[in-house]
Amino acid sequence: MVAIAAAWLLATALCLRNGRSAAPASAASTGGDAVLVAWASQTGFASALAERSAAMLRAGGREVVVLPLDQVDATRLAATRRALFVASTTGEGDPPDHALGFLRRMDDRDLAHLEYALLALGDRNYAAFCGFGRQLDAWLRDRGARPLFDRVEVDNADEAALRRWQYEVARIGGDAAAADWSAPAYHPWRLAARQLLNPGSQGGPVHALSLQPASGALPAWQPGDIAEIGPGHPPQQVAAWLAATGLDGTAQVDAGDGPQPLAGLLARSVLPDPDGVRGLAPQALAARLQRLPHREYSIASIPAEGRLQLLVREMYRQDGTPGLGSGWLCRHVPVGGTVDLRLRSNPGFHPPAADRPLVLVGNGTGIAGLRAHLAARIAAGARRNWLLFGERNAACDLFFGDELRRWQEAGWLERMDLAFSREGDRAYVQDRLRAAAAELAAWVDAGATILVCGSAGTMAPAVDTALATILGAERRDALREQGRYRRDVY
C-alpha cells in the first residue's frame, strides 16, 4: 500500500500545486453554507485525498473548509449542514493518532441537520478493515446525520473505489467536468441495440442498451457491478469548437495512445476555452487535453445472457441540452458504433448466498441492478425472491414488465409489489413496505438480505426510515453491519 499511496500523494500534490484556483482552507467561509471536508490521516494519504476532494468542490463553485478531524468540534458540526469525511484506519481498526480523542470528546447532540459522505481507507490484510471509518459512520448515523450516499471503502488505494468517490463528490456539487483521478483504461464495446422503453412517459425517456465487446469474449462480472462509460461530445459540438479556434480537425495528433485525428481526441476530451488555445499547434493542444470524466451505470444483465445491458434515462442540463453521459449513449452513439467502457467491481452490492431469501427494493432505472440480481438468482435456482418497485405510471414506466410477470408466473418471483405515484392510490415503494410490515419482518427472520437500488435523494431515505419503523432502528443497523441491508443509490 505504501508504494501505491506514495504515487497518489505525488499526483495529488502536483494537481493541487498546478490546478488550485481558490483560496486555501484557512481563508474559506466558516458559515453553514460551506462544505466541511474533515480528514483523519496517519501517512498523509487521507489528507491528500481530502484536499483533492475540496479542490473539486471549489471548482464547482462551493465554499469549503478543510480541517483535520482533531480540529472539528461539536460547535462546528452543529453549524455545518454538509460534510465530507476521509478517514484512515491504522493498526487493528484504530483511528490515526491525531484522531484518537475525537469520538471521546464529542457530545451526544442531535446531528439530524447534517448531510455527509464518508470515504474509509483501509487494508483487507487486517481483520478490522476500515475499522475507524466504519466506527465514524456508525457514530454519525446514530446521531441522526444523513448519508448522501453509502460509505465508500478503499482497499490499498484501489483506483476503482477512488473513482467512485470522485464520481459521487462531483454529483453533490463538485466539478462535474473534472478529469478522472486515475488514467482511464477503457476497452471498446459495440452498441448492438438501443430501445426506448417508455414512450409517452411523464418522466425522461429511458433506453435499454445492449453492448458487446468490439473484439474478444464477453468478460465476467457479478450482479451489482458497474459499467463506467467514457462519454463523448456530439460531432456538431466538436465542429463548432474547431471553427471557433481555426484548428484543423483532420490533423494527426498523439496523446499517448497512438496517432488519431484531432477531432476524434477532442470528442473525448474536456473542451478548453477557444480563446486560450488559439495559435497552438494541434500536437501542443493534444498534450494539454484532459479526458472527459466517466459516467456510471448499473449493469442490468449477467454474462450468461450473452450481452451487457444498461438502462439509461436521458438527463438534461439547465439550458435543456442533453447530459454528457446520457446524451452520448441515448442520442449520439449510432447503433453499431463504439462505446468506451470499463467494468468496476462493486462488492458492496454483490449477491447473497442463493439459499437465502432476497428482498429487492427500487425505483426508476434502479430496476437495472435489481434485474441482474433476479437473473442470477434464477440461474442459480433460487426462488425466494421479493421485488418492490416504484415508478410514475404502470402503462409507460414498468421497465422489464413483461419479463417480470413471466418470472412471477413461473415461480421465480415469490412476491412482487408495485407502486405508481401518478395513478391509482399514488403510492411509493416505502408505502408498500409499510403495508407488508409483518411479511417483511418474517423474511428478515428467515435470513433475508435487503438490496435497495435507485434514487438517493428521495426513495432511499424513505425506505431507510420505513425499515427503521418496521424492524426497529437497532435491528436495521445490525442488518447493515451484517451486510444484509445494502444499497446502490445515486
Q: Please provide the CATH number assigned to the domain covering 2-171.
A: 3.40.50.360
Tell me the C-alpha distance between 261 and 250, whole Å. 5
Residues 6+ positions from 13 with CB-CB distance below 8 Å: 48
Q: 218: how many CB neighbours lie within 10 A of its CB?
A: 15
CB 248 within 8 A of CB 285: no
C-alpha cell at 250: 483532420
Beta bridge partners of 39: 68, 86
Percent residues over pLDDT 70 in the chain: 93
The residue ranges of DSSP E strands in 439-489, in sequence order, are 449-454, 485-489
How does residue 25 score in pLDDT terms, banded at 50, 70 and 90?
very low
Per the structure block, which three cell numbers stand in for 207? 433506453
pTM: 0.81
Are 35 and 82 spatial neighbours (Cβ–Cβ below 8 Å)? yes
Mean pLDDT of 144-152: 92
* Domains of the chain by residue range: 2-171, 186-231+294-347, 233-291, 351-489
| Count of other CB atoms within 10 angstroms of residue 48 | 22
- The amino acid occupying position 452 is V
How large is the average pLDDT for residues 219-248? 95
The answer to whether 174 touches 63, Cβ cutoff 8 Å, is: no
Asked if residue 87 has pLDDT above 90, the reply is yes
Tell me the average pLDDT across 119-123. 93
Whether the CB-CB separation of 178 and 269 falls below 8 Å is answered with no
Give the model confidence (pLDDT) of 156-170 as tens digits: 888 889 999 999 999
* Closest to 276 in 3D by CA, of 265, 263, 289: 289
Which residue, chain included where needed, has cell 494537481?
A: 15
Model confidence band, residue 416 (pLDDT cutoffs 50, 70, 90): very high
3-state secondary structure 149-170: CCCEEEECCCHHHHHHHHHHHH
Contact 362, 431 (CB under 8 A): no
User: How many CA within 13 A on the CB side of residue 467?
Assistant: 26
- Selection from 480, 476, 474, 454 nearest residue 466 by Cα: 476
Instruction: Give tens-digit pLDDT for 51-71.
Output: 999 999 999 999 999 999 999
In this prediction, residue 4 carries a pLDDT of 42
CA distance 209 to 467: 33
Burial 135-164 (b: 16+ CB within 10 A, else e): bbbeebbebebebbbbbbbbbebbbbbbbb
CATH class given for the domain over 351-489: alpha beta
Q: Given this model, what pLDDT does residue 32 score?
A: 66
Give the start-end residues of each E strand in 237-302. 252-254, 259-261, 295-298
| Residue 190 near residue 336, CB atoms below 8 Å | yes
Pair 254, 260: CB distance under 8 Å: yes
Mean pLDDT (the chain) is 90
pLDDT at 19 over 80: no
Mean pLDDT of 278-301: 93
What percent of the chain is modeled with pLDDT above 90? 71
Using the structure block, give the residue that is written with the C-alpha cell 444499497. Answer: 487
The answer to whether the 2-171 and 351-489 domains have the same CATH topology is yes
Class level of CATH domain 186-231+294-347: mainly beta
Residue 384, C-alpha cell as written in the block: 425466494
Cα–Cα distance for residue pair 255/292, rounded to 1 Å: 14
Confidence at residue 123, expressed as pLDDT on a 0 to 100 scale: 87
Q: How many whole angstroms separate alpha carbon 230 and alpha carbon 325? A: 8
Q: Grid coordinates in use for 55? A: 479542490
- At 13 the pLDDT is 42
CA 284 – CA 280 distance, rounded (Å) = 6
